[in-house]
A and B are shown apart, each in its own frame.
Chain A
């Protein structure tokens, strides 16, 4: 008996005709355009600032991708950033060694994630409602703990590290842990049995359950990871600005979600890959940076992010509609037309 070919399409098609490559392509185009046309974009500081700016979004986008691939959502991430930042501040202020405080902040992030995860995975509550609640709850705890003040005393070794660059490359040091995490998450999501389960859950959680995937535990794990990484982002955020405040990173959740969706992850779950997400985050970062350099303010950047988001989700359904129309007209053209006779066919509407 002959064996099956492994792939239906040639390699170049599988690599190039994908949602991810579309985003990457767009990113390259925008970068090239900016280098050629935006003054100072090719300057030495651009890369440093760009990477530092997008770092928290990039970090949180990694686990958020997993959450969205399972078909859930986590709106509380920015509040976890705020809470871990405040905890770090309060504890260092109280005299705890920095590393100890950071570990507590990370643990708190994991606990926040576990709280979301428990309610979503085990109690079965809708993640949208749960995380709208914890968005307020965690932020409220953060603001409540630190009250009116900001903690600004952090060991300089650490604050410097958050902004240091590798040699003279202009690439920030934080890129290293980020790369490690990114590779880790990519392997976990795309090259592990756990990751396959995550996709299965997003595509069809019932079938996943029938196949022996532990749906509840997987979802729980993913939420815990999100909390943990958000706390890590919170520590970075605090160090970069040398300031722990209750309102740190307010509104970041929407940017993260926008970037993830832009990167080709389907809000319905089950679809999307990390390279696309990274490109999506960078795309938003580059556009913002280039526009700021041209003196365009935040408002236009908002409009562009919004339009990209709507366009990116609409593109899928528009493409589907087009191919549906095309296949229908092909069928009409091919066979003898048995479409209802026009004269009598006044019934019904020709929509679909």
Chain B
């Protein structure tokens, strides 16, 4: 890459030592990232930095690369992003880092060598297990289930799906995973895929959708179909999107960590990297504002905590 040393010298727009942080979600128009970016913004304001949010229209790596490049040009202190592809954006990230930018991934990771720290919403095992447990409980630990995922290339989704498969095979022998379909985090596509899924598998008992767009679309389809109440749905969703379907009985329970807290933590992680508190080594410790103390684990991962399960009893306590 070119122009490596001049980049770091140019400092941030904020000047005067204030940390400049840019949030780069997978794409704009996604409420999940809206919440996480809001959390990030809150954190940045707390530590007195400058916050910026940019992003592509479609969740593709090539569109994301352009924004990573822009960040490198601007010499931003820290980039906090959710990756659309684990490798495709790697080189762009390396260039940004050689220009002095600290890179924190959250939500969806790249390969470890391309970033400083990955802020994990929960351990992948924890996420997979909570969803498997939810569906098993809802369908009585028996019958056919399917998965409605986001993009076929999404790292986090694929990791969870693998772990769910293992968990199902090991602990739930009577549950059969019959199909995995991809709604590409598009409402219409996820919706239509749900319909098709139910059509081709008439005896389906449950659907797991580990993506916020997917679970909302599937819930909307179920809520007005004959399958309502017969086919169980769980996965990862935000309470605001799902409130209606939990109340009308379509969905008994689903899980999610608090994306606002995730963004908040990611921003503080970035700050810690910029001011040198941590370097991304295992065992580094830092304080993330209201959330308290965190330790960097193996492979430069910081884990937010276990996901929260939302159901009719608690959903009104949340607003995101």
Given A149-B153, A150-B85, A150-B153, residue A159 in contact with residue B61 (CB < 8 A) = no
**A170 near B61 (CB under 8 angstroms)?**
no
B263 at the A interface (CB under 8 A): no
* Known pairs A43-B75, A288-B66, A292-B54 / 9 extra A-B pairs, C-beta < 8 Å: A40-B75, A49-B69, A152-B86, A168-B2, A241-B62, A243-B87, A250-B58, A292-B66, A298-B55
Q: Does A205 contact B (CB under 8 A)?
A: no
A288 — which chain B residues lie within 8 A by C-beta?
A: 66
Name the CB-closest residue of A to B90. A242
Is there an interface contact between A243 and B61, defined as CB atoms closer than 8 Å?
yes
Q: Is B295 at the interface (CB under 8 A from chain A)? A: no
Partner of A148, one of B70, B74, B88, B152: B152
B18-62 vs A, Cβ < 8 Å mask (1 yes, 0 no): 000000000010000000000000000000000010111110111
The yes or no answer to A295 lying at the interface (CB within 8 A) is: yes
Residues of A contacting B58 with CB < 8 Å? 250-251
Chain B residue with minimal CB distance to A159? B91
Select one of B7, B54, B60, B87 contacting A152, CB under 8 A: B87
B-side contacts of A170, CB under 8 Å = 2-3
Enumerate A246-294 residues with CB–CB distance to B below 8 Å: 247-251, 288-289, 292-293
One of B28, B65, B69, B72 near A241 (C-beta < 8 A): B65
> Are A243 and B85 neighbours in the complex by a CB distance under 8 Å?
yes
Q: Is B146 an interface residue (CB 8 A)?
A: no
Which chain B residues border A165 with CB–CB below 8 Å?
Answer: 1-2
Residue of B nearest to A298 (CB): B57
Tell me, yes or no, whether A163 is within 8 Å of chain B by CB. Answer: yes
Chain B hits for A152, CB < 8 A: 85-88
Is A46 an interface residue, CB under 8 A from the partner?
Answer: yes
Q: How many Å from the CB of A166 to the closest CB on chain B?
A: 10
* B23 nearest CB across to chain A (Å): 12
Inter-chain CA distance A217–B66, complex, in Å, is 39
Determine if B113 is an interface residue (Cβ-Cβ < 8 Å): no
Task: Point out the residues of chain B lying under 8 angstroms from A245, CB to CB.
Answer: 61, 85, 88, 153
Residues on A with C-beta less than 8 A from B227 are: none
Which residues of chain B are near A292, meaning CB under 8 Å? 54, 66-67, 70
Q: Which 5 A-B pairs have the closest CB atoms?
A: A44-B3, A148-B152, A243-B88, A152-B87, A241-B88
Q: Does B182 contact A (CB under 8 A)?
A: yes
Which range holds the interface residue count of chain B?
35 or more
A75 CB to closest chain B CB (Å) equals 18
Which residues of chain B come closer than 8 Å to A298, judged between CB atoms?
Answer: 28, 55-57, 63
A24-63 interface code vs B (CB 8 A; 1 in, 0 out): 0000000000000001100111101100010000000000
**In the complex, what residues of B have CB within 8 A of residue A148's CB?**
152-153, 182
Interchain CB contact under 8 A, B89 and A295: no
Judged by a CB distance under 8 angstroms, whether A297 is at the interface is yes
User: Can you name 17 A-B residue pairings with CB atoms under 8 Å?
Assistant: A40-B74, A43-B6, A43-B75, A44-B7, A45-B2, A165-B1, A170-B3, A237-B62, A240-B91, A241-B85, A242-B88, A245-B61, A250-B58, A250-B60, A251-B58, A292-B70, A297-B55
Closest CB in chain A relative to B235 CB, distance in Å: 18
Residues of B within 8 A of A159 (CB): 91
Shortest distance from the beta carbon of B65 to any chain A beta carbon, whole Å: 7
Q: How far is the CB of A58 from chain B (nearest CB, A)?
A: 15
Q: Mark B281-317, 1 if CB is under 8 A from A, else 0.
A: 0000000000000000000000000000000000000
Least Cβ distance of B12 to chain A in Å? 11
Asked if A299 lies at the interface with its beta carbon under 8 angstroms from chain B, I say yes
Given contacts A245-B153, A299-B57, contact A40 B73 (CB under 8 A): yes
- Distance in Å: Cβ of A236 to nearest Cβ of chain B: 12
